Amino acid sequence: MDLLRFVTAGSVDDGKSTLIGRLLYDSKQVFEDTLASIQRASEARGLGDMNLALLTDGLRAEREQGITIDVAYRYFATPKRKFIIADSPGHVQYTRNMVTGASTASLALILIDARKGVVSQTRRHSALTSLLGITHLVLCVNKMDLAEWSETRFNEVEADFRAFAGQLGVQEVTVIPMAAVSGENIVDRGEHMPWYTGPTLLEFLETVETPDHVSHGALRFPVQYVLRPHTDEFHDYRGYAGTVASGTVTPGQEILALPLGIRTRVAAVDRFQEQCASATNGDAVSIRLTEEVDVGRGHMLVDPAHAPASATRFSADLCWMSDTLQLRPRQQLWLKHTTRRVRCMVESLDDRLDVETLERSAGPASFGLNDIGRVTLRTMEPIFADPYAVSRDTGSFILIDGSSHQTVAGGMVREVLAQAGAPA
């Protein structure tokens, strides 16, 4: 059985939590004691006898305010597939939490209220998920019951959204009319929209094919940890533990060790008491090399014919996430990319993206909470990066403030640049 990770986003009051509650409830993933507890909570709050939104809003503050603040992860399985939902807040103030949820998803559900149609939040959520490399968007046109189940209204909303998604360059868009409160087109079809002949939401989720997050087959193996057992049985063992980020690694294969620049060969690929014929992206293994080289954490074993750039200067899209610190040129931060942590400096803030209009304004003076834009960064030591569009694992990084140790930004490598002063 395979696993589909998706993120959900919507504006306040679009019924996102209700939709997820419905998805879990109708696919019989909600247990009796959970139902009893939300029933008690619903009654205590005067929300009627069963408010499905309380299934997902788990924190005290969320229940008090009736909104989602942080990502909640939900799990459910049907006989066809296993799902991980990153249920993300829609409120602009919590954009960074939505970005957290979207960073590991392959598909996004965007909710809108059929009466309101495409609003600024819809555009922002679509732009954010698309920026994070999600190629499949599902627009859930909710509250069709309050729009008289109108096909005309649905068609208007769909046309609006497709026009915007076209601007974003999203490859796959699916639009489904529904009423989460009564469950229409979530798991079961219902009887109010005979004009809709497409799949229900669950049918769609069970069958959709999403692409891998890596579009090249070249080996990238970030070294996490060096295994030196020092036991009698494994006296001279030296294995490089890590997870294959892309490509395949096979015994005998030639590799290039970065940043050393040494070419050597793979002696063995070990995985708990056995040697593997090969390992591919996602496999957590330990690699032994034929020669003794001084490889350590933060180094990368790569395909010599298709090596990543050793970048000390690059442009990136950045989501700024700190509510206390502003980002300004010349600022120094820690940068974590794969298993490597290096010092970096902000050379310039190149533009800021308005995620609602998709317009970029050049030369912002600073970035504050939830600002998104293009920056040029320089690092003290090289990172071995691919563009994010090519590979999520080797194209993503985070920035960490050296004094508070807070994660202050998520970044996506766009393009490796020549060193300042060097010919381009």
Partner 1 sequence: MTTETATRGARHTELDMLEAEAIFIMREVAAEFERPALLFSGGKDSIVLLRIAEKAFWPAKFPFPVMHVDTGHNFPEVIAFRDKRAAELGARLIVGSVQQAIDEGTLTEERGIRASRNRLQTPVLLATIAEHQIDAAMGGARRDEEKARAKERVFSFRDEFGQWDPRNQRPELWSLYNGMHIKGEHMRVFPLSNWTELDIWHYIEREALEVPSIYFTHEREVFERDGMLMSVCPYLPQLPHETTFVAPVRYRTVGDMTCTAAVRSDAADIRAVINEIAVARVTERGASRADDQFSEAAMEDRKREGYF
Q: Taking CA 51 as the corner, what is the angle to CA 50 and CA 52, rounded to the nearest 5 degrees?
A: 105
Q: What type of residue is 29?
A: Q
Among the listed residues 20, 71, 144, 302, the single contact to partner 1 using CB under 8 A: 71
Contact 78, 201 (CB under 8 A): no
* Closest CB 191 distance from partner 1, rounded Å: 28
Among 14, 17, 51, 70, binds partner 1 (CB under 8 A): 70
Within 225-284, the residues that bind partner 1 by CB under 8 A are: 225, 227-231, 233-234, 237, 239, 241-243, 248, 250, 270-273, 276-280, 282-284
User: Mask 173-202, x = binds partner 1 (CB under 8 A)?
Assistant: ------------------------------
Angle (CA) 172-204-183 rounded to 5° is: 125
Smallest Cα–Cα separation from 221: which of 251, 255, 192, 171? 255
Question: For residues 165 and 318, which CB has a smaller minimum distance to partner 1 in the complex?
Answer: 318
> According to the binding rule CB under 8 A, does residue 206 interact with partner 1?
no
E strand or H helix at 25: helix 16-26
- Minimal distance in Å, beta carbon 28 to partner 1? 9
Cα–Cα distances in angstroms (integers) from residue 366 to residues 97, 150, 344, 355, 400, in the given order: 21, 46, 17, 17, 17
CB of 32 to partner 1, least distance (A): 5
Q: Crossing angle of helices 120-131/95-103, nearest 10°?
A: 40
Beta bridge partners of 184: 179, 188
Report the residue number, 78 or 150, with the smaller CB distance to partner 1: 78
Q: Which two tokens stand for residue 65?
A: 């305010």
Of 12, 27, 39, 41, the one binding partner 1 by CB under 8 A: 41
- Rank residues 71 and 179 by Cβ distance to partner 1 and give the closer one: 71
293 binds partner 1 (CB under 8 A): no
- Residue 209 makes contact with partner 1 by CB under 8 A: no
Window 323 to 382, contacts with partner 1 (CB under 8 A)? 334, 336-337, 339
Closer of 184 and 270 to partner 1 (Cβ): 270
Binding status of residue 84 toward partner 1 by CB under 8 A: yes
Window 111 to 150, contacts with partner 1 (CB under 8 A) = none
Judge contact between 91 and 12, C-beta under 8 A: yes
3-class DSSP state of 30: coil
